Amino acid sequence: METLIDDVGSFPLPRYTNRKSFIRAYAIAREVVISGKDVRKDAFLLNNFYRVVIDSFRKKRDTGLDVVNYPQHYDMNKQFTDVIHKAMGEGTYIVREKDAIIPEVYVINKEAKRLYEDTGSRVSLRVCITGPMELYLKEIGITPYRDILLMFAETARRFAINSILNSKYIRTEVVALDEPSFGFRDVIADIDMLLDVLEKAFDFKGVIKHIHLHSPSKVPDLLDVKNLDALSIEYAASPKNIESTSKNMLDKADKQIRVGVSRTDVDSITAELYEKGIAKPTAQQLVETEETIRKRFISAKKKYGETMTFAGPDCGLVSWPTQAAAQLLLKRTVNAAKSAKTSLS
């Protein structure tokens, strides 16, 4: 399989809105969508949520990404825990099916025909969902309660199922569970419980299923998750990450890998530039050169071969100073990967 280029999710807000307005609009829009009404009929929601999502998605897609994640402007935990808190009022951690919607996916689906007409090609969508272990850590802690963990897994599964689209204009290609704390701060669950929870969360069909990690320390624990297709690891800012994950390990487990080939740790990049005397870096200076990204892609591809089915930025871009800077990073990543693939063919 050809290595496809995608992004992890988060993206800066456009300048015509602010975080306070977007957060307020997001909460209202979610309830409007759940109730079956049209978000576009409210001017505040249209300008501070609907338009924001579709404009940001277009900016991402225009960079040439093969698979585009919805623009995750809202907090990755609150996006789901807000809805879980509603379920908790009913004595459960399982969100009702009709409430398990991602408003950004709703917007992109509504605009799918126009997005298709922009390029003449079907939208290839990636959907990120905060994973059950991460949500459990935020809401409960590290002590494992099997029944509650499985409730969080069922909730994640319901969000995934409701985000799988397949029409002439749009197709959900990837659903990724984000587990950034895994390997750093873990729920103290044994391997059997971990497998049960993740296999429950991934109990859906019709898409490629990823798990996105910030630490590869417990990758061996994930190789036995039966219905998981690919591990997603950061490499650009943490080169040693791929040392602990071999192609042989992946092949034996029949797993693929997504490798982060461009740095997104903007605070560290800014600090490094400051030490070089650049106090106010431009977007051109913040983003790595195409040649740097290209070399990294080639190195990872030589290590993993056909097993590396996806690549892209390390992580999300919400902390980047502007959409233009984030868009430049995506463009350079796409250009570098295309150049690398040509030289390797």
CB 74 within 8 A of CB 23: yes
Tokens of 195: 């497998």
Side chain identity, residue 75 = D
User: Model confidence over 279-292: pLDDT tens digits?
Assistant: 999 999 999 999 99
CA–CA dist 106, 127 (Å, integer): 12
Delineate the domains of the chain, giving CATH numbers in brackets. Answer: 4-344 (3.20.20.210)
Would you mind telling me the total number of residues written for the chain in this entry? Answer: 345
Q: Which residues pair with 179 in a beta bridge?
A: 213
Report the largest interatomic distance among the alpha carbons of the chain, rounded to a whole angstrom.
57
CB neighbours of 82 closer than 8 A, spacing ≥ 6?
27, 30
pLDDT of residue 177: 98
- Taking residue 127's Cβ as centre, other Cβ atoms within 10 Å add up to 25
Residue 212 has pLDDT above 80, yes or no: yes
pLDDT of residue 345: 81
- Over residues 105-125, the mean pLDDT reads 97
- Over residues 289-314, the mean pLDDT reads 98
SS3 label, residue 279 = coil
Q: How far is CA 91 from CA 57, 59, 99, 151, 247, in A?
A: 36, 41, 15, 12, 45
pLDDT of residue 31: 97
Q: How far is CA 200 from CA 32, 33, 301, in A?
A: 29, 26, 31
CB 221 within 8 A of CB 193: no
User: Model confidence over 243-278: pLDDT tens digits?
Assistant: 989 999 999 999 999 999 999 999 999 999 999 999
51-61 vs 112-119: helix crossing angle, rounded to 10: 30
pLDDT of residue 244: 86
- Over residues 57-81, the mean pLDDT reads 98
Residue 1 has pLDDT above 90, yes or no: no
The DSSP string of 122-164 is -EEEEEEEE-HHHHHHHHT-SS--HHHHHHHHHHHHHHHHTT-
User: Model confidence over 3-20: pLDDT tens digits?
Assistant: 999 999 999 999 999 999
- Over residues 301-316, the mean pLDDT reads 97
SS3 label, residue 276 = coil
CB neighbours of 67 closer than 8 A, spacing ≥ 6?
4, 5, 6, 124, 125, 126, 173, 174, 310
Tokens of 60: 């991402």
CA–CA dist 331, 321 (Å, integer): 16
The DSSP string of 160-224 is HHTT--BSSSEEEEEEEEEETTTTTS-----HHHHHHHHHHHT---SSEEEEEES--TTHHHHTT
Helix (H) or strand (E) run with residue 211 in it: strand 208-213
Torsion of CA 157, 158, 162, 164, to 10 degrees: 10
Sheet holding 170-179, edge to edge: 4-5, 308-313, 256-262, 230-234, 208-213, 170-179, 123-130, 68-69
CA–CA dist 169, 261 (Å, integer): 29
Q: What is the pTM of this model?
A: 0.97
